[in-house]
Amino acid sequence: MDITDYVYSILKEKDVVLLNAYPGFGKSRIAVAIARKWVDDGGQVLIITRSRAEALQLCEFARQVGIRDRVSLFLGRELMCPFNARNSKQCLIYRLSGKCRVGKTEAPLPIMTCNPLDLFNDGLCPYEVNEALAHQLPIVISTHAYLSSPELYGKIMDIVNSWSKPLVIIDEFHNVAVGLEESVSISIDELRQWASHGNDMAGKLLDRVSNYTPQREVVVLRRFDVDDILKGSELINDKVIEILTHFGNDLCAFTYDGRLVRLRCLSLKPIHDLIMKSQKALLLTASISKRFSYIMSIYAKPSYYMAVDSLPGEYQENLIIYSVTDVELTHRNRLLREYLDIVNKGVRVFTESSPPIGGLAIFFPSIDYLNSYVNQYAPPVWGVPTFILRDSSDTVSVIEEFKESARVTKSLIITYAQSPIGEGVNFLEQELIGVMIIGFPLPQYSQWSFLKSRYYGRLGINGFTTTYLFPAISTTTQIVGRLLRDLDRHRKVAVLLDGRFYRYRRYMPKWLVSRMRPIRLAQFLNASLWR
């Protein structure tokens, strides 16, 4: 029995199945294969993945197995439109001005392309065609963004509610496992305007905000406060109403920076309701180890945890993970000169000991720490082509330039732990042969994270583990997972420069821990890492 048949057999017995397997295992292909089996058995499938790129990849897998004519890409208008129209009004303007020359919005089946531009070139609106097909076809592919958008989530639920035998598959589940977050900013002037029009809650909030220190404190809203705001909803902009309605029964808070009041909400309800409305749910991840399977207790249906814990033999031989155990780069000490010197020495050893061809990636715990290091040591002077990725605005171009360089010579990219390069980007052959994570990537403490921790505690799950430890382990797993390509032909090395990686190894996947070698700093600084 192959893995797809095995997962499907478990899914028939259990309502919610969580499959944890290492990056590169082929979970997305399994999702499509499971969807095909479920549809053949008379059901309907909603597959939710992280991004547009991954949704298009799932569509391509569906085409390869011969079920593209049963699949709709249910993505946002901006993601499907060649002109990135944000809404129907903007779409109409493009058409009236002649910029968009779409003539028809209904497509005859079957549709075999996974490229929205192909539909557009045929005179079809990619967004409107796929939205219409979502109500006709048995397989719908969407993204995590649809869960956090009240409007889009409503469309998803309308489709699921119309199905007789729904299966929900959530790919990259670790990204939504502990809730969805959304925020909107309100200017002080707006708040004053609402208060002047008689909105009592706006007045109360204004009074409370004026007594708080900007960027240091949080104005917490209890449930009845949210209800009070909604009573005067005609005086509040639509975005605020949508967020409060969608998230308001879980955790909402206002933060104040001296100019803007920012509403921030966290909720498990959309994911919970979607799973409860489905007949079955398959959750796919590389980052939820057995230690974190308590997250499944959030959902009221009987669940089953299964894991692929071991890498193939040829992968194990060529993957080495060095974990430096006797130094900790905590928030308190990481900016001290002696610790920056340790980091610089470590980066130099990592870079100089690597092969003459191949890509190296270094991840700092924050953008601020990255900037402090780069400003202090100017790494390009090493004579190695160096790329620095500080934000997501130019991610695609920077990554492609880095890959191209790494194919012909030793190349270095410096970024931060939460950057897009750390998850969802595939590196082939020698495009990436080593990663180094500097500092255990715990989320920074804030009033908001404190509130989240308390919120999870009220649900009966460990607040610290869920708020801080789970994201750090997930980030680590995903970054190291970037090396799990072509390991049968290339040796690859990961360096974890912080003692907390080894201390918390029991929370990490077994495939990662099994390749972890504890090493002291002095040994590491004199090691030949790739031998």
Q: Is 112 helix (H, G, I), strand (E, B) or coil?
A: coil
Among the ranges given (15-19, 40-44, 260-264, 340-344), the one the predictor scored with the smallest mean pLDDT: 260-264
Cβ contacts of residue 3 below 8 Å, gap of 6+?
A: 30, 308
- For residue 467, is pLDDT > 90? yes
- Which residue carries 């974190």 as its tokens? 292
Three-state SS at 520: coil
Fold type of domain 3-178+269-308:
Rossmann fold (3.40.50)
- Return the pLDDT at 217: 65
Q: Residue 397 burial (CB < 10 Å; 0-12/13-18/19+)?
A: exposed
- Rounded to whole angstroms, the Cα distance separating 472 from 510 reads 16
313-524 has the same fold as 3-178+269-308? yes
Provide the pLDDT for residue 234: 64
Structure tokens at 88: 């129907």
Q: Is 507 helix (H, G, I), strand (E, B) or coil?
A: helix
pLDDT confidence of residue 212: 73
Q: Which fold has domain 313-524?
A: Rossmann fold (3.40.50)
Cβ–Cβ under 8 Å, residues 419 and 363: yes
Check whether 142 has a pLDDT greater than 70: yes
**159 pLDDT band (50/70/90 cuts)?**
very high
Domain regions of the chain by residue span:
3-178+269-308, 182-266, 313-524
Q: Which two tokens stand for residue 433?
A: 């042969």
Name the packing angle between helices 200-210 and 188-196 (round to 10°).
Answer: 140
C-alpha gyration radius of the chain: 25
Distance in Å from the first CA to the final CA of the chain = 38
pLDDT in tens, 193-226: 878 877 777 787 788 777 777 666 677 776 667 7
Q: Which amino acid is at 311?
A: L
Return d(Cα 431, Cα 483) in angstroms, integer.
10
> What tens digit of pLDDT does each residue of 295-336 get?
888 776 768 999 988 888 777 788 999 999 999 888 777 777
Which of the residue ranges 5-14, 42-51, 374-383, 447-456 would you say has the lowest mean pLDDT? 374-383
